[in-house]
Amino acid sequence: MTRLQQLHNEFDQSPWLDNLSRDRLTDGTIQRFIDGGIRGITANPSIFAHAITGSDAYDADFHRLLDADTSLEDAYWDLITTDIAHALELFHPLYESSGGGDGFVSIEVSPTIANDTAATIDAARDLHKRIDRPNLLVKIPATDAGIPAIEAMTSEGRSINITLIFSLERYGQVIDAYMSGLETLLSAQGDLTRVHSVASFFVSRVDTEVDRRLEAMGTSEGMGLRGKAAVAQAKLAYQQFRTRFADERWKKLADAGANLQRPLWASTSTKNPDYPDTMYVDELIGPDTVNTLPEATIEAFEDHGTLAHTIDKGHEDASETLDRLHKVGIDLLEVASVLETQGVNRFAADQDSVLAALKSKLA
């Protein structure tokens, strides 16, 4: 049994792959990951930019689309939705065998509309209609404009992956949006059992930004807090998850067949080489969670990762860590705002870069 399989079988955590490309779909790589314990897959504009610009696997499809007078942007979406549809087929047996618990594939709405609620709703709805599969999750960013879009899509019975969550406060809003959407669906006598959702709480980027600020301060107390913010915040997010999904509001929805909105740990590769390369896996293991892993992190975890129930251990220490960060001058809400803006801008830039690369190919 692989360590990834043990994560699920012994600790009820679902490891998902954070990568997707046509090469990996067609050469059997993705199927081998499934056989080895991967239970879902996520993609974003950065991943697709790397896939499309770094391979000629898309060229024949691109030429076909151009021959049909398809615009560059429409061609881009056709290329990536084709990959998503292929991945959905590969993961569908797992979706069926898990009773809808896993086997999901995620595709993100355009990051250029992250601050436009109406456009996000239209785009998410269009992707669900265009790729009409039960194991599809459409990713909506947890921006101010994204929160009402999450509620709207959930109220229509659509499954959503909420991405770019960086703070406990925003996570609370995401939970509210999910429950409110389910309540609207329930009042319309919709089928709650078909709605699935994960809330993607980003991890390593928090440490990167907080550590940068601590190092700029240069105090001994601050330097001693490096590498501690992300795991502490994630542990408290899990505590919030357990509390909110056990209250009376949730019980009414659960009685009607609603599925938990599982916390998903994203950005789990270690950015600082001084930190253990599996720290954002080892420290966040526990039931009803998902961890999305890039291939290098999977390889490291299979080689020397630690299997232990850790996610709900040390909550008091986690709270103390956040208190100490506040005392030395770290404003985690401001950190989250910066990271959210950076995340949206980075994804938008990557989408622009792949469109520019396609334009170059056209020329």
Q: Which residues are catalytic?
A: 139
What is the distance between the alpha carbons of residues 304 and 264, in angstroms, rounded to a whole number?
22
CA distance 195 to 175: 14
Cα 158–Cα 162–Cα 168 angle in degrees, nearest 5:
135
Residues 6+ apart with CB under 8 A from 105: 20, 40, 41, 42, 43, 84, 87, 88, 91, 133, 135, 136, 137
Outline where DSSP puts E strands in 21-108.
40-41, 104-108
3-class SS of residue 351: helix
Q: What is the dihedral of CA 143, 21, 196, 75, to 10 degrees?
A: 70
Q: How far is CA 105 from CA 203, 204, 269, 274, 287, in A?
A: 21, 22, 20, 32, 20
Contact 109, 128 (CB under 8 A): no
C-alpha torsion sign, points 146, 151, 155, 159: positive
* Number of neighbouring beta carbons within 10 Å of residue 135: 22
What backbone torsions phi and psi does residue 20 show, to the nearest 5 degrees?
A: -160, 135
**Nearest C-alpha neighbor of 227 from the set 267, 290, 270, 286:** 270
State how far the Cα of 128 lies from the Cα of 109, in Å rounded to an integer. 11
Instruction: Judge residue 78's burial from the number of C-beta atoms within 10 Å of its C-beta, 0-12 exposed, 13-18 middle, 19 or more buried.
Output: middle
Task: State the distance between the two ends of the chain, measured CA to CA, in whole angstroms.
Answer: 50
